[in-house]
């Protein structure tokens, strides 16, 4: 890995933050050449975020987090800016565009040569010059602008031509879902272009975390995205444990894995049901919905919360299941496996369902690296990636997940992949239960709190790779940055729907299972 | 206009108005059962219509008179069409009432206004719905005409009342070819009532809707009328299917006992078909929008086959 990094630019001195994390300090002038040669050598941009006051008060530092397929380490380029601007890398890593727009909104760092300089996270109702993640801005409610001058209104990409018309959908939708605006440009029924606009409910989660003690902040991490609460609490805890050097007891590692896999199961079951509802096959969907509800109830019995909030804590887990609960869980799992397999067989043998799923919403493999797609979306388009195997955490080093990869890239591939991942998760939980070690479920708290430092926590949520950057200063959270899989995966929907018909959009959207909340922190 | 015909008119329309919501709920109930849910009560559609009648009607500021007259057009066309299909008692046909082609175009007028009102409110979804409905209608209408033409060839009449008079009192369909027509009519029923695999009446996803998208902007009393018109249309199509496949029970002489018996019998026959519709809907997913003509072609094929058999065999 070090040789690999030195090859990026001769004379570079990589620093080892800790096993698995390598960091390189660069100057603003080095950003573009470094990124270009990293991209040429097969690195992907995993996360790009900003930290204020990293080494100089009031100065912004950019953190370019990268990984390369087959390398266990992640590489972070840290660059402290001289002024409020930085060169854009959006032509090298397409995924950088959203990150840079986000940093511009939240920190006021400008990227003058970026191809898209529109606002992203903070819509027009936020006043110009308001950058809430700056340390000088206090965390308190603000009054939005009500009158927005026409020249400051958001401009969608114009699509014009004979027979092209616009179909605006959202941000308020039918049913109980989150807000997002979809601007379709259609020719008849065929989608010629789709532009997605998110970030209607910016909650200020990252700002909220600042100044909190790490153990308080687990609840903040859980609130990032409702049905990824275990994954995000885990990602956050992993980062804090790295900073503090906490060794998590074995039993807790196994329990964390069980909770994470239960979460994957209920998330995937919801997707499978949702895809069937969206092609109007509720008879197939209802079997999965029932199973999902039963998993929720099991979660509640195990942890007191249907979404397993409070299950993961820094240094371990919050609950130690009794012998009876573990026995009950084993029985439940075998039962679920049986009751999952039969309806799945029926659905996959139904020609009307297959006809709707096959060839619909094709995610081309060429988008995977530039947009850094992860999770089932990437795996069903031929990408062999899974954080659980590539950067193991919890008990995944002992109990490796069988990483399944399909090539078709359509809705059917995502459906089949998620179905087989449910089966895999069930058997992984059973393996965990069989080998569940005895002992404490949480590390002994040491006096003195968490030392200063920063670390990345990476987890595989049901939707893909979630990246948490935590920086602790004086025992408090100084910066908490979260990048969920949805943040990257959202951008591919604009490509996946092209050439499909408008009526197939809901099922394509559901098959990608994108979290609005996880994108809009 | 003669006495028995006036009695027929009142009886037939009144009965259709009375029972139409029941079949709506029954189909929902069957579908819910197939999904393992309890489903709504059998009187739910009555309650829903009553609730909507009491609610305020809201119009989009972009809408014109089209939006305001459409519910009345739809409901009145449905009520007039209810004169054409005998459910209980069959009188002598009067002045073209019962004409198959006229029946089809009464429904066509309602469809036309519905599509206009979908465009009228200026919402993108309404436009999508209207455009889909009209493109499908271009394929459905010729198919419906061929199906009814086949029916006319087999029954040797273009009038539902005459067809009913001929078959009244028979236990089985007039001829075996009627069963082929039954298949076609069933497909027409599914298509015209916007059910799976053509459209999904229960969906909340505007982008997938056909019929429902045109209705999205309707509210209150107007929505109640449109829903009611839809229920009536469904009952009439069920009644045609009943007429073709299960003609027994229709009375040609007026008597209280006979009419009551016919009522009970129609509820049973209608329920059988509603259950079949519910199970049919539960058995498959919706087809791709552009593959829908394939379904109509099946109806078309069966009808043409019927005509060939009748003419050449």
Residue A509 pLDDT more than 80? Answer: yes
ipTM score assigned to the predicted complex = 0.92
Q: Do A166 and B208 touch (CB under 8 A)?
A: no
- Asked whether residue A319 is domain-assigned, the answer is yes
Give the DSSP H/E element, type plus range, for residue B309.
Answer: helix B292-312
Dig out the tokens for B101 from the structure: 């082609």
The pLDDT of residue A1 is 64
Residue A138 located in a structural domain: no
pTM exceeds 0.90: yes
Nearest chain A residue to B206 by CA distance is: A174
- Whether A453 and chain B come into contact, CB under 8 Å, resolves to no
Q: What is the pLDDT of residues B20-55, one digit of tens each?
A: 999 999 999 999 999 999 999 999 999 999 999 999
User: Structural domain tally of chain B?
Assistant: 1
Residues A268 and A186 in one domain: no
Distance from CA of A78 to the nearest CA of B (A): 45
| Contact in structure between A452 and A474 (CB atoms under 8 Å) | yes
As a whole number, the mean pLDDT across chain B is: 91
Structural domain of B259: 3-312
Q: In the listed set A75, A107, A139, which residue is the last one of a domain according to the structure?
A: A107
Handedness of CA A414, A415, A420, A424 (dihedral sign): positive
Q: Name the pLDDT band for A71 (thresholds 50, 70, 90).
A: confident
Residues A249 and A160 in one domain: no
Average pLDDT of the segment spanning B246-264? 88
Indicate the average pLDDT of chain A.
Answer: 91
The model's pLDDT over B126-167, given as tens digits with 9 standing for 90+, comes to: 989 999 999 998 888 889 999 988 988 888 889 999 888 888
Alpha carbons A271 and A289: distance in angstroms, whole number: 9
| Domain boundaries, position A184 | 155-197
Q: Are residues A346 and A229 located together in one domain of the fold?
A: yes
The domain that holds A83 is classified in CATH as 3.30.460.80
**A176 & A271 share domain:** no
State how far residue B127 is from chain A, nearest Cα, in angstroms: 9
* Same domain? A402 vs A275: yes
Do A286 and B200 make contact, defined as CB atoms within 8 angstroms? no
The verdict on A182 and A74 lying in the same domain is no
φ/ψ of residue A36, rounded to 5? -65, -45
| Mutation site for B-interface testing, chosen from A189, A280, A351 by largest number of B Cβ within 10 Å | A280
A13 occurs within a structural domain: yes
Per DSSP, the three-state class of B199 is coil
- Predicted pLDDT at B1: 58
Shared domain check, A302 and A174: no
Over 90: is that where the pLDDT of B203 sits?
no
B155-176 burial: b if 16+ Cβ within 10 Å, else e: bebbbbbbbbbebbeeeebeee
CB A432 within 8 A of CB A254: yes
**Left, alpha or beta for A287 (phi > 0: left; psi -120 to 50: alpha)?**
alpha
- A114 found inside a domain: no
pLDDT, residue A93, reads 93
Q: Which two tokens stand for residue A187?
A: 């020719």
The answer to whether the CB atoms of A280 and B128 lie below 8 A apart is no
Give tens-digit pLDDT for A437-452.
Answer: 999 999 887 666 888 9
Of A197, A230, A253, which residue sits at a domain end? A197
> B119, B46 in Cβ contact below 8 A?
no
Give the confidence band of B93 by pLDDT, cuts at 50, 70, 90: confident
The verdict on residue A146 lying in a domain is no
A230 and A173 inside one domain: no
Q: Do A280 and B208 touch (CB under 8 A)?
A: yes
User: What is the predicted pLDDT for the residue at A504?
Assistant: 93
A406–chain B Cβ distance below 8 A for any pair: no
- We report the CATH number of the domain holding residue A378 as 1.10.645.10
pLDDT score, position B113: 95
């Amino acid at each position: 890995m070090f040789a690999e990094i030195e090859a990026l630019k001769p004379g570079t001195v990589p620093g080892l933050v800790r096993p698995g994390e390598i960091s390189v300090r660069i100057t603003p002038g080095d950003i573009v050449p470094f990124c270009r040669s990293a991209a040429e050598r097969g690195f992907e941009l995993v996360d790009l975020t900003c930290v204020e006051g990293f080494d100089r008060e009031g100065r912004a530092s950019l953190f370019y987090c990268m990984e390369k397929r087959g390398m266990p380490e992640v590489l972070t380029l840290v660059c402290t800016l001289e002024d409020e601007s930085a060169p854009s890398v959006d032509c090298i890593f397409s995924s950088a565009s959203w990150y840079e727009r986000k940093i511009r909104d939240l920190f006021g760092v400008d990227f003058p040569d970026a191809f898209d300089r529109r606002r992203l996270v903070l819509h027009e109702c936020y006043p110009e010059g308001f950058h809430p993640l700056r340390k000088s801005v206090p965390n308190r409610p603000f009054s939005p602008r009500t009158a927005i001058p026409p020249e400051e209104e958001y401009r969608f990409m114009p699509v014009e031509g004979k027979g092209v018309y616009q179909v605006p959908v959202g941000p308020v939708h039918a049913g109980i879902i989150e807000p997002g605006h979809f601007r379709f440009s259609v020719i008849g029924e065929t989608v010629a272009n789709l532009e997605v606009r998110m970030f209607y409910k910016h909650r200020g989660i990252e700002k909220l975390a600042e100044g909190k003690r790490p153990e308080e902040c687990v609840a903040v991490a859980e609130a990032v995205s409702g049905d990824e609460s275990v994954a995000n609490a885990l990602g956050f805890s992993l980062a804090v444990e790295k900073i503090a050097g906490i060794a998590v007891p074995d039993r807790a590692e196994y329990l964390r894995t069980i909770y994470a896999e239960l979460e994957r199961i209920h998330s995937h079951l919801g997707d499978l049901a949702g895809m069937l509802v969206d092609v109007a096959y509720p008879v197939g969907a209802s079997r999965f919905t029932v199973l999902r509800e039963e998993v929720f109830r099991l979660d509640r019995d195990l942890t007191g919360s249907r979404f397993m909030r409070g299950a993961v804590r820094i240094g371990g887990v919050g609950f130690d299941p009794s012998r009876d609960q573990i026995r009950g869980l084993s029985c439940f799992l075998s039962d679920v496996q049986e009751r999952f397999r039969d309806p799945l067989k029926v659905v996959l043998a139904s020609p009307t369902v297959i006809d709707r799923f096959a060839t619909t919403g094709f995610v081309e493999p060429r988008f995977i690296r530039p947009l850094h797609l992860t999770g089932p979306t990437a795996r069903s388009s031929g990408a062999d990636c899974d954080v659980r195997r590539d950067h193991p955490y919890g008990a995944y080093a002992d109990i490796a997940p069988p990483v399944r990869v399909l090539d078709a890239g359509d809705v059917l591939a995502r459906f089949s992949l998620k179905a087989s991942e449910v089966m895999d998760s069930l058997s992984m939980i059973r393996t965990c239960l069989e080998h569940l070690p005895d002992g404490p479920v949480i590390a002994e708290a040491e006096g003195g709190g968490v030392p200063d430092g920063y670390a990345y926590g990476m987890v595989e949520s049901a939707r893909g790779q979630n990246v948490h950057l935590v920086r602790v200063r004086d025992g408090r959270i100084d910066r908490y940055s979260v990048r969920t899989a949805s943040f990257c995966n959202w951008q591919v929907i604009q490509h996946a729907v092209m050439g499909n018909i408008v009526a197939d959009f809901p099922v394509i959207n559901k098959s990608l299972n994108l979290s609005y909340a996880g994108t809009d922190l | 206009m003669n006495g028995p015909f006036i009695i027929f008119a009142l009886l037939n329309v009144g009965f259709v108005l009375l029972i139409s919501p029941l079949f709506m709920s029954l189909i929902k109930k069957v579908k819910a059962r197939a999904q393992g849910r309890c489903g709504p009560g059998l009187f739910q559609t009555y309650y829903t219509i009553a609730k909507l009648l009491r609610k305020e009607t809201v119009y989009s500021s972009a809408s014109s008179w089209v939006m305001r007259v459409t519910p009345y057009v739809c409901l009145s066309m449905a009520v007039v069409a209810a004169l054409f299909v005998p459910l209980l008692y069959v009188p002598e046909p009067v002045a073209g009432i019962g004409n198959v082609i006229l029946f089809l175009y009464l429904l066509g007028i309602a469809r036309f206004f519905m599509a206009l009102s979908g465009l009228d409110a200026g919402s993108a979804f309404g436009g999508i719905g209207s455009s889909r409905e009209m493109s499908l209608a271009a394929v459905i209408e010729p198919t419906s005409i061929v199906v009814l033409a086949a029916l006319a060839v087999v029954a040797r009449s273009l009038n539902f009342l005459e067809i009913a008079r001929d078959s009244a009192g028979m236990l089985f369909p007039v001829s075996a070819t009627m069963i082929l027509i039954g298949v076609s009519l069933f497909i027409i029923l599914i298509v015209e009532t916007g059910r799976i695999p053509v459209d999904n009446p229960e969906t909340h996803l505007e982008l997938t809707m056909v019929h429902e998208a045109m209705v999205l902007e309707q509210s209150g009393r107007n929505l109640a009328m449109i829903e009611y018109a839809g229920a009536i249309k469904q009952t009439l199509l069920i009644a045609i299917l009943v007429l073709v496949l299960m003609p027994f029970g229709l009375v040609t002489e007026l008597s209280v006992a006979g009419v009551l018996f016919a009522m009970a019998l129609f509820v049973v026959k209608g329920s059988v078909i509603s259950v079949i519709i519910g199970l049919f809907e539960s058995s498959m997913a919706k087809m791709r929008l552009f593959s829908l003509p394939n379904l109509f072609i099946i109806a078309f094929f069966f009808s043409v086959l019927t005509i060939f058999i009748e003419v050449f065999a």
